[in-house]
């Protein structure tokens, strides 16, 4: 490739890695006489762990409860929640283990509904042209790893997970360079196309597509339970819908929380009953190949989502184990103090 053209391409791809402003899937302006407008921030677009939230409007479950759901995408869950904390949205979807970390920084947020189930879709990949040089996790020392990295208030769940993976293989987090990437295809692919990252830690469906398009090679697939040995707390509650405690102190906020939980639970119950093919058909924003990815991934990981939208208390307790492994001697509030179960309920 011509040098000038290569530099232009690299510059464009690198720009895709920068933390960007949120963009909205639906219009943000309520129309006269409209149903209750609920603004939900989430990582994406297109991240499989948050697919249930992208399906709510496609399935008509917001209209069913008298609401209109507006999705606003952010590079990470922490960024999504920080936007809620300053009053720009009602709710955010993010990794549950970040809530005790944020609380330690004075950010009082509570989870009102779980999204995730028992299976994970984390994946560690290396750039295709480095696949013969980086064949083990130990080879990542001194390399640049792209992942969703959060903000000064705390690390994302993804970064904490990959740090546990690195430590388990003798690589300390300070021995690698961190490249902030968003939880979307443009950022993930841009990290490899621009050669800004040597490796990438992200979640499906992006790993499958990176491999298919010849950009990356799999180094570790955490959807396989056999790879979990030695990874403390990896069964922690992955993703939740959360909000500022202050919103729950007012009747209007409580009404929105009730509607939000009803939409989430309705969608999760539908997902558990639907075939992977039926789910992929509802992913209307995706291409045919992306919908095929969804079908294949949900066939492989049928328990990625909560079965009924109730909090699993064992996963909540595993979150404390995870945080001790991820953050060492740092003290955080008990994870159970970061859930509000009045609408979603709980499992033993």
pLDDT band at 65 (very low <50, low <70, confident <90, very high): very high
Question: Is the Cα dihedral 84, 160, 269, 297 positive or negative?
Answer: positive
Q: What is the pLDDT of residues 83-134, one digit of tens each?
A: 999 999 999 999 999 999 999 999 999 999 999 999 999 999 999 999 999 9
Q: What is the pLDDT of residues 282-340, one digit of tens each?
A: 986 678 889 999 999 999 999 999 999 999 999 999 999 999 988 877 789 999 999 99
Beta carbons within 10 angstroms of residue 250's beta carbon = 10
Report the chain's mean pLDDT, rounded to a whole number. Answer: 89
pLDDT score for 34: 57
Contact 316, 323 (CB under 8 A): no
Whether the pLDDT of residue 343 is over 50: the answer is: yes
Contact 180, 109 (CB under 8 A): no
Whether the pLDDT of residue 4 is over 80: the answer is: no
Q: What is the pLDDT of residues 125-173, one digit of tens each?
A: 999 999 999 999 999 999 999 999 888 888 999 999 999 999 999 999 9
Rounded Cα–Cα distance for residues 168 and 95 (Å): 21
Beta carbons within 10 angstroms of residue 29's beta carbon = 8
Q: What is the pLDDT of residues 165-196, one digit of tens each?
A: 999 999 999 999 999 999 999 999 999 999 99
Q: What is the pLDDT of residues 204-214, one digit of tens each?
A: 999 999 999 99
Whether the pLDDT of residue 14 is over 50: the answer is: no
pLDDT score for 306: 97
Q: What is the pLDDT of residues 238-268, one digit of tens each?
A: 999 999 999 999 999 999 999 999 999 999 9
pLDDT score for 305: 98
Whether the pLDDT of residue 12 is over 50: the answer is: no
pLDDT score for 224: 80
Rounded Cα–Cα distance for residues 69 and 28 (Å): 10
| 3-class DSSP state of 39 | strand
Rounded Cα–Cα distance for residues 274 and 256 (Å): 27
CB-based contacts of 99, cutoff 8 Å, min separation 6: 109, 110, 111, 240, 242, 335, 338
pLDDT score for 19: 44
Q: Domains plus CATH for the chain? A: 14-118+236-347 (3.40.190.10), 120-228 (3.40.190.10)
Q: Give exposure, 110-138, as e/b (b: 16+ Cβ within 10 Å).
A: bbbbbbbbbbbbbbbbbbeebeeebeebe
pLDDT score for 345: 96
**Residue 311's closest CA among 111, 61, 107?**
111
């Amino acid at each position: 490739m011509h040098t000038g053209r290569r530099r232009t391409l690299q510059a464009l791809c690198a720009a895709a890695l920068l933390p960007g402003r949120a963009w909205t899937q639906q219009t943000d302006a309520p129309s006269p006489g409209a149903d209750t407008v609920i603004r939900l921030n989430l990582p994406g677009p297109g991240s499989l762990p948050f697919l249930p939230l992208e399906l709510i409007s496609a399935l008509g479950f917001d209209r069913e409860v008298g609401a209109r759901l507006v999705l606003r995408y952010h590079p990470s869950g922490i960024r999504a929640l920080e936007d809620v904390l300053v009053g720009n949205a009602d709710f955010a979807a993010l990794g549950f283990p970040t809530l005790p970390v944020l609380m330690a920084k004075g950010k009082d947020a509570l989870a009102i509904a779980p999204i995730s189930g028992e299976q994970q879709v984390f994946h560690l990949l290396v750039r295709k042209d480095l696949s013969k040089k980086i064949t083990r996790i130990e080879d990542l020392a001194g390399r640049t790893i792209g992942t969703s990295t959060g903000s000064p208030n705390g690390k994302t769940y993804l970064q904490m997970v990959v740090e546990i993976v690195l430590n388990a293989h003798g690589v300390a987090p300070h021995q690698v360079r961190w490249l902030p990437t968003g939880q979307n295809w443009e950022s993930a692919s841009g990290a490899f196309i621009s050669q800004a990252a040597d490796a990438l830690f992200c979640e499906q469906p992006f790993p499958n597509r990176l491999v298919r398009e010849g950009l990356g090679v799999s180094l570790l697939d955490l959807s396989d339970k056999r790879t979990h040995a030695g990874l403390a707390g990896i069964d922690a509650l992955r993703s939740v819908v959360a909000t500022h405690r202050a919103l729950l102190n007012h009747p209007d906020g409580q009404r929105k929380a009730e509607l939000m939980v009803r939409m989430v639970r309705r969608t999760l119950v539908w997902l558990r009953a639907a075939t992977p093919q039926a789910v992929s058909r509802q992913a209307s924003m995706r291409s045919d190949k992306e919908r095929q990815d969804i079908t294949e991934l949900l066939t492989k990981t049928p328990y990625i989502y909560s079965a009924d939208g109730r909090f699993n208390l064992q996963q909540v307790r595993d979150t404390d184990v995870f945080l001790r492994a991820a953050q060492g001697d740092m003290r955080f509030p008990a994870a159970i103090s970061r859930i509000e179960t009045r609408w979603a309920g709980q499992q033993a």
